[in-house]
Amino acid sequence: MNLDTTDRQWYTINNPDKLDSPALIIYPDRVKKNIETIVKMIDDPARLRPHVKTHKTKEVTLLMIAAGINKFKCATIAEAEMLGMCNAQDVLLAYQPNGPKITRFISVIKAYPGTKFSCLADNLKSAEEISGQAIINELRIPVYIDLNVGMNRTGIKPGSAAMQLYEDASHLKGLETLGFHAYDGHIHERDIEIRKKLSEQLFAPIEKLKEELENKGYSAPKLVIGGSPTFPIYAENPDVECSPGTFVFWDKGYQDLLPEQNFLPAALILSRVISMPDETKICLDLGHKSVAAENDLQKRLYFLNAPDLKLISQSEEHLVLEAGEHHQWKIGDILYALPFHVCPTCALYEYATLIEEGELSGTWKIIARDRKITI
């Protein structure tokens, strides 16, 4: 398969009539190339902790493990179990479990003893609850203190309170306090120099916490920081584990936003023209149920073989586009759509169809799209 991103025909399927639509299609050669690229972008693959929320598959996880990546981040118990099924060495549940989720998390830990599982905590009550359940189950659960560095959804702000929480958690018998976790998804400026400045401002209080803990005699805390936009920045910091996720499939959103990152689009949606409401419009079988719909309508899909089409409206099963007068589109024509946000798009599909050398070559089950696999 031609991996040249300037070749606009790389996505073409020779036998699309064998595939119903809408369909999530994945190009494994491009996935492998993206994994090779990210390993080359960092000094040591041991500092990579990719987030699996994008692909949610055993197959992609195993490709990463084969490339020397052994640490992972996830957001759900199903994703954690999927990683356990792949014998991943080190898995961080980047979520603070409480109530039944703690019980399920402990069940995953017990079911996959070959994998080291950890989780987050951002307050003492939750840390004590996790510790209590760990003691009951004769476990010692590793935790990272979750820092709020600007997303303002979870975490504790870097400073004296975070220091106190780290020390308090370190004294809980059921926990092993490993370090700090910080997600900076609010930093997404297109100019990487601006991203660098904002990242430096963000990192300074975290570095101060690290130094203060070491001065108090604690082992150097591990730092898990960042996502895709700041990955190239933290890749240059030997003290940081990096957690990009979208790189494996890439999408139109990050392709436009992060021009310095040379990843290849590797997951598309195949759709068909199903109707022509009037002389200038066409309708596709590509509704809300087939692509992430949280963005404005014009920021949901980009059609590789029809970039001039204008999105007019979308409902659950339909997408109406303006094609212009005297257009050449016909009922049954195929369109290849690159999602703007691929992560939640993948979660809408039970499986993806693989395309190799222009042919349908198999499927990958999006096994962790569900809230539960077995646990």
Task: Give pLDDT, residue 209.
Answer: 97
Quote the CA–CA distance of 185 and 275 in Å, as a whole number.
39
Containing domain of residue 144, as a range?
28-248
Location of structure tokens 């402990």: 106
Task: Give pLDDT, residue 3.
Answer: 42
Report which of 138, 136, 132, 134 is spatially closest to residue 118, judged by C-alpha positions: 134
Quote the CA–CA distance of 62 and 66 in Å, as a whole number.
6
Residue 16 lies in a domain: no
Give tens-digit pLDDT for 235-260: 999 999 999 999 999 999 999 999 99
Task: Give pLDDT, residue 356.
Answer: 97
Average pLDDT value for residue range 107-125: 98
The domain tally of the chain equals: 1
Residue 10 lies in a domain: no
Quote the CA–CA distance of 144 and 273 in Å, as a whole number.
49
Residue 111 lies in a domain: yes
Cβ count within 10 A of residue 374: 9
Contact 202, 194 (CB under 8 A): no
Report which of 100, 98, 45, 54 is spatially closest to residue 73, judged by C-alpha positions: 54
Give tens-digit pLDDT for 130-186: 999 999 999 999 999 999 999 999 999 999 999 999 999 999 999 999 999 999 999
Location of structure tokens 């990192």: 203
Give tens-digit pLDDT for 42-79: 999 999 999 999 999 999 999 999 999 999 999 999 99
Residue 20 lies in a domain: no
Asked whether residue 105 carries a pLDDT value surpassing 70, the answer given is yes
Task: Give pLDDT, residue 328.
Answer: 96
Q: Give the percent of the chain with pLDDT over 70.
A: 98
Asked whether residue 8 carries a pLDDT value surpassing 70, the answer given is no
List CB contacts of 294: < 8 A, sequence separation 6 or more. Answer: 341, 344
Banded pLDDT at 4 (limits 50, 70, 90) = very low
Asked whether residue 301 carries a pLDDT value surpassing 90, the answer given is yes
Banded pLDDT at 14 (limits 50, 70, 90) = very high
Q: Coil, strand or helix: which one is 109?
A: helix
Q: Residues 125-157, buried b or exposed e (16+ Cβ, 10 A)?
A: ebbbbbbebbeebebebbbbbbbbbbeeebbbe
Which residues partner with 120 through β-bridges?
144
Residue 55 lies in a domain: yes
User: What is the distance between the terminal CA atoms of the chain, rounded to a whole angstrom?
Assistant: 39
Quote the CA–CA distance of 322 and 42 in Å, as a whole number.
44
The Cα-based distances of 332 to 236, 241, 352 in angstroms read: 49, 47, 21
Quote the CA–CA distance of 252 and 200 in Å, as a whole number.
27
Asked whether residue 80 carries a pLDDT value surpassing 50, the answer given is yes
Contact 130, 139 (CB under 8 A): no
Give tens-digit pLDDT for 121-130: 999 999 999 9
Contact 329, 317 (CB under 8 A): no
Average pLDDT value for residue range 317-340: 97
Q: What value does the mean pLDDT of the chain take?
A: 96
Task: Give pLDDT, residue 2.
Answer: 35
Task: Give pLDDT, residue 1.
Answer: 32
CATH label of the domain that carries residue 143: 3.20.20.10
Element at 143 (helix H, strand E):
strand 141-147
Residue 135 Rama label (left phi>0; alpha psi -120 to 50; beta): alpha
How many angstroms from the chain centroid is the CA of residue 280?
38
Quote the CA–CA distance of 262 and 247 in Å, as a whole number.
9
Average pLDDT value for residue range 329-343: 98
Q: What is the DSSP letter of 251?
A: -
Residue 326 lies in a domain: no
Which residues partner with 240 through β-bridges?
223
pTM flag (> 0.85): yes
Residue 337 lies in a domain: no
Task: Give pLDDT, residue 6.
Answer: 44
Contact 65, 88 (CB under 8 A): yes
Asked whether residue 96 carries a pLDDT value surpassing 80, the answer given is yes
Residue 157 lies in a domain: yes
Task: Give pLDDT, residue 124.
Answer: 98
